[in-house]
Structure 1
């Protein structure tokens, strides 16, 4: 009998023969949409944000739901407030908790105002008040402005359950927002150790901002992002910062001491986390390594891999990979947060 490995992974997830036709179609669509399209770093981040909101990029303008509401939360900075957008369940029943989401956009673009469909779906599927955070963006506000905003919102929602009449139960983030969700999770464990989060949802996140992992530097068709774009994000978010300084755990959560966080926690573990990523995503190695370290701390982590799927594949509802990822997310959150009562 051969010696068993203490860590196993389904290698078939990475084999090209297991990439379904729908996933290949997603990549083709992304490549055709992005080919010749303006790059955010050529037109400037501020201009590109305007183009996104008005539907002048390769993607349509994000839909707006009239039932989403806006509010503000105090910042640590004097005379500042952080904008948020939230959605309450349409059935009018009391929320079972608060789910706070940090949007993607490479620390430089996208907005909390562009997440209405996700907020509505999560609010109604899990009987939660869902919150999207309008954190500050680079280059106008480089690190640590954005992460400070995300942490300030998370800490405020822990301390002020009266705001929504329910406790903060879950954090989530996509791409750059995954970085912020991980950093906010670790900060809450330090600053609010008696508060237990029930679930962390991390979608194709950035956890090592050296951007020097093999998948990150690989020159492969990726649809939405490539290594040059990642480096441009770093130029505006971490200007003139050395590779060594980018390993700061307050920048790159992959380098945090997770076992120490567990030892010092009254709950003796990190919150349960679901990592979702496609194997063709240039950030795939981030999720592989981050989920492994999460597990190695003695905490629950599930990594859900999608053969051949690129960055942002979850936006393509109706294709198998996107629908499977949505189903995995639903299974995880319903287990951790409880099913919605009829």
Structure 2
């Protein structure tokens, strides 16, 4: 028998020929939209956030759903609360967070953690830790079921992993059903090769990453940024009882290596690790509505829902 590798990836997923025509058209549209557009550090974070709300950036305009309920949860910082938004299952066509609430019959809680540059590390982490601890202790009483899953995209995936690390220590008797980690950033100390090799002006690039990291981890050195709570890639995962994790990423994303490498490390630690790679999908692809006609968008949503239902 021929010698086979102990690590297997479907190389065809990374072949440019595997990219669907509809995905190429979406990417071309996104790159055209970026032409001449200012970056957030050129106009300031607050103005760029307003541009995001106005639909003036490559990512789609956020939609505020009437079905969401605003709540506040306690912070470790005296005198402040953490804003959150709750979505309960309901009838009707799912949108955004209601995809999970409706299709998977889950209560979904979105955390309004503090943002850099106004609130750099460790403020965002602390907000997620506090909400995570509260839900471990109170979700069954308040929402009728324990905390089962945690999910996020990009910084949200990063914060999901470090919050998982925190809860494994702070609540050692607690166990997730799984994590859903979309195109996360796991090495903030210097970035993995794909970030440096990626040369398309497609939503997000290494220049953007440098500015985000300088805002989030100001006054820290690359060596200090290897702290696992800054760069979860550097944690000793063999010392943790990790939950199952689903990693999703597109091949035209400067963060692709983060998901591929992190999923391998997750598996090496003995935990279930599922990596789903979508040919040609750009950074942030799960944020786009399926109507954009990129097959990877609907495929990823289907994969996420399948992952959740199989573990419930």
TM over 0.5: yes
C-alpha distance in 2, partners of 1:170/1:219? 32
Name stretches of at least 5 consecutive residues in structure 2 with no aligned partner: none
Paired residue for 1:144?
Answer: 122
Residue aligning to 1:293: 265
Q: Residue in 2 aligned with 1:227?
A: 206
Contact 1:27 1:222 in 2 (8 A): no
Q: Distance in 1 between matches of 2:266 and 2:116?
A: 29
Task: Tell me, in whole angstroms, the C-alpha distance in 1 between the residues paired with 2:190 and 2:115.
Answer: 19
Q: Give secondary structure in 1 for the equivalent of 2:173.
A: coil
Matches for 1:221-260 after TM superposition, within 5 Å: 221-260=200-239
Q: For the structure 1 residues 222 and 291, does the alpha-carbon distance in structure 2 shift closer, same or farther, using more than 3 Å as the test?
A: farther
Displacement after TM superposition at 1:58 (Å)? 4.9
Q: Is the 8 A contact 2:153 2:181 kept in 1?
A: yes
Q: Where do 1:152-163 residues align within 5 Å? A: 152-161=130-139, 162-163=141-142
Q: 1:276 aligns with which of 228, 231, 248?
A: 248
Distance (whole Å) between structure 1 residues aligned to residue 307 and residue 60 of structure 2:
30
* Cα separation, 1, equivalents of 2:3 and 2:65: 55
Q: How many residues are paired up?
A: 307
Q: Deviations over 1:89-147 (max 9, x none)?
A: 115xxxxxxxxxxxxxxxxxxxxxxxx93221211111111011000001111000001
Is residue 95 of structure 2 the alignment partner of residue 117 of structure 1?
yes
CA contact (8 A) 2:190 2:222 kept: no
**Alpha carbons of structure 1 residues 283 and 222: separation in structure 2 relative to 1, 3 Å:** farther
Structure 1 match to 2:281: 309
Q: Quote the offset at 1:54 in angstroms.
A: 3.4
What's 1:131 paired with?
109
Q: How does 1:78-97 map to 2 (within 5 A)?
A: 78-90=78-90
Matches within 5 A, 1:313-328: 313-314=285-286, 315-317=288-290, 318-328=293-303
Question: Which residue pairs with 1:75 in the alignment?
Answer: 75
- 8 Å CA contact 1:72–1:83 kept in 2: the answer is yes
Moved more, 297-306 or 319-328: 319-328
Q: Is 246-255 or 305-314 further displaced after alignment? A: 305-314
- CA shift, 1:219, in A, is 3.8
- What is the aligned counterpart of 2:150 among 168, 171, 175? 171
Q: Secondary structure at the match of 2:168?
A: helix
Equivalent position SS for 2:275: strand
Higher alpha-carbon deviation: 209-218 or 285-294 = 209-218
Change (3 A) 1:30 1:58: closer
Cα distance in structure 1, aligned partners of 2:58 and 2:247 = 27
Q: Which runs of 5+ in 1 are unaligned?
A: 92-115, 263-269, 338-342
Q: Distance in 2 between matches of 1:128 and 1:316?
A: 20
Moved more, 247-256 or 57-66: 57-66
What are the Cα deviations for residues 150-209 of structure 1, in whole angstroms up to 9, with x where unaligned? 111011111112222321110001001110001111111111111111011000000111
Q: Distance in 2 between matches of 1:308 and 1:81?
A: 40
Per the TM alignment, residue 51 of structure 1 is displaced from its structure 2 partner at its CA by 2.2
Contact 2:19/2:279 (CA < 8 Å) preserved in 1?
yes
The verdict on how the C-alpha distance between 1:57 and 1:279 changes in structure 2, with shifts beyond 3 A counting, is closer
- Preserved CA contact (<8 Å) 1:222 1:280: no
C-alpha change, 1:275 and 1:60, in structure 2 (3 Å) is closer
Aligned residue number for residue 185 of structure 2:
206
How big is the shift at 1:3?
A: 2.0
TM-superposed deviation, 1:229: 0.5
TM-score w.r.t. structure 2 length? 0.94
Q: Structure 2 CA distance, aligned partners of 1:117 and 1:139?
A: 30
Q: Distance in 1 between matches of 2:38 and 2:113?
A: 24
